[in-house]
Amino acid sequence: MANVDAQPRNVVQIIADDLGLMLGCYGLKSIQTPNIDKLASQGTKFTNAFASTASCSGSRSTIYTGLHTHENGQYGLNHGWNHFQTHDHIETAPQIFNALGYQTGIISKVHVGPQSVYPWEWYAPGESRDVRENAAEAARFFDRAKETSRPFHLTVGFRDPHRDATRGGFGNQDEDVSHVEVPDYQLQDVDIPDYLSDVPELRVELVEYYKSISRLDKGVGFILDELEKRNLRESTLVIFMSDNGAPFVNSKTTLYDAGVRLPLIISSPDSDSIPGTVNPNMVSFLDILPTCIAWAGSKDLFPKTSNSEKSPKRLGRSLLPILSASKIVPEEQWQQHVFGSHTFHEIQNYWPTRYMRTHKFKYHRNIAWQLNFPFGTDLYGSLSWEGIRNSTPLPDDESDTPEVMLGRRRLTSYVYRGPEELFDLEADPEEINNLTNDPQYQGQLIRMRSETEAWQYLTDDVWLFKDGVSAISSQGYQKLGLKLPDRFDFDIKRPGNASGPFWAPARPKEASEQTTKLG
């Protein structure tokens, strides 16, 4: 057993399903989330917290491993025919906390596998949205820990506010939720997110989505009540977060901020924490596991398990040193940029892309940019998307040619994307105006491209492509003399391997305007 401080220091990690930033404490006045808002007032609310990927299984795997999906192998969804699995040699949170002597557990949504890699001691998966029953299961977990005098690490994966199996529902008609009272939102009550267009079908869905969020909020309150009843709050680090953005087109499955900029609230009972802190520093969900390990009192952020020597080294940082920071910490003390990695959602949704984000700029490297950006099945089947795709085309700021719009984004630029995207977030927070061809931003583009590539090398990202070939998997041949041109994609018109510019050939003519060519 690893060296842990004597005083029990527990962790409760609450993960919402497809939430995004639609909470009262994050500025949405039209929704009622009093329990989550109260938690934020008691702890630290991060305003620049980022998931690595905008897909359920992948994002959860990064939280539980401290590794990007291209490192841990959970490239896409775990369930059904998708069947993506975390590699057997990867070290995970339940392995680590089992080794630390903790009672580990997970309740409701799991969505990663295999179970042998995620060996939670208390394993209570479920499909129900009954947040009272989820809380009752948590109560049983807490009682067992108290009976055995063990510290605990519990993850509660609420099912809300994910879509249900209907075209516009969010579980509000399920029999097992009828006893949980939520506000009766009306069509005129909802606010339309900037990344979506105001169509009647969207308002209908948002009413149901708001109800699902309010039920989630009730569940958070029930969990916190169970801790309070047992006098466990003063020894428990409570973390609230979402796995990815809201389940709408132009959000979930994309690495735009709507998909990966997410709520993160941490409530610490330590005396040096400042309730109500609003923390603007750049943090990654890969920082969650190191934070939990540090909170547990482990003398080593890398306690030994059977997979310790085989698993890649985690690059995340404990958030505890900056938990009470209400201003941006200097770069030399805290790295003020984050990276992200997405490869699949469903197994047919192959669209590998990487991103780097600072406070001011966002860079996307779209590896399979020649492919159309894919639609998740539940998003494509939604009533809101049907309403948007059949809406009246409108002229946008760039062209008088009418086009269907996603908020201010042209549908063309959503489906057809170039090999790189660069956005000035201060001027363009919705990531609409791609600056990769703007001479004024070439220096910034080159810097962020280089830093992203260096990070890909550091994390052995096999999707780091040079001349259409993985620069990582071909390293053995490179040692034997293979030279890869310094360009993203293979060019059938210039197939020679002489060193060439960093560039990409043109995609089909309908998207030629999206092509980036850099010398």
Percentage of the chain exceeding pLDDT 90: 85
How confident is the model at residue 399, as a pLDDT? Answer: 62
How confident is the model at residue 309, as a pLDDT? Answer: 78
- Residue that the structure tokens 């992203």 belong to: 452
CB-based contacts of 227, cutoff 8 Å, min separation 6: 12, 142, 233, 236, 238
More confident: 519 or 78: 78
For residue 367, pLDDT beyond 60: yes
**β-pairing, 277-279 with 44-50?**
parallel
How confident is the model at residue 492, as a pLDDT? Answer: 86
The 10s digit of each residue's pLDDT in 484-496 is 988 999 988 888 8
Ordered by where they begin, the domains of the chain are 10-327 (3.40.720.10), 464-519 (no CATH)
More confident: 299 or 283: 283
CB-based contacts of 347, cutoff 8 Å, min separation 6: 76, 77, 81, 82, 83, 84
Q: How far apart are CA 471 and CA 483, in angstroms?
A: 10
Query: What is the pLDDT averaged over residues 436-442?
Result: 97
The 10s digit of each residue's pLDDT in 36-94 is 999 999 999 999 999 999 999 999 999 999 999 999 999 999 999 999 999 999 999 99
Q: How far apart are CA 59 and CA 68, in angstroms?
A: 8
Query: What is the pLDDT averaged over residues 261-280?
Result: 96
> In residues, how long is the chain?
519
How confident is the model at residue 515, as a pLDDT? Answer: 34
How confident is the model at residue 494, as a pLDDT? Answer: 83
How confident is the model at residue 427, as a pLDDT? Answer: 98
Cβ contact 167:382 at 8 Å? yes
Q: What is the pTM of this model?
A: 0.94
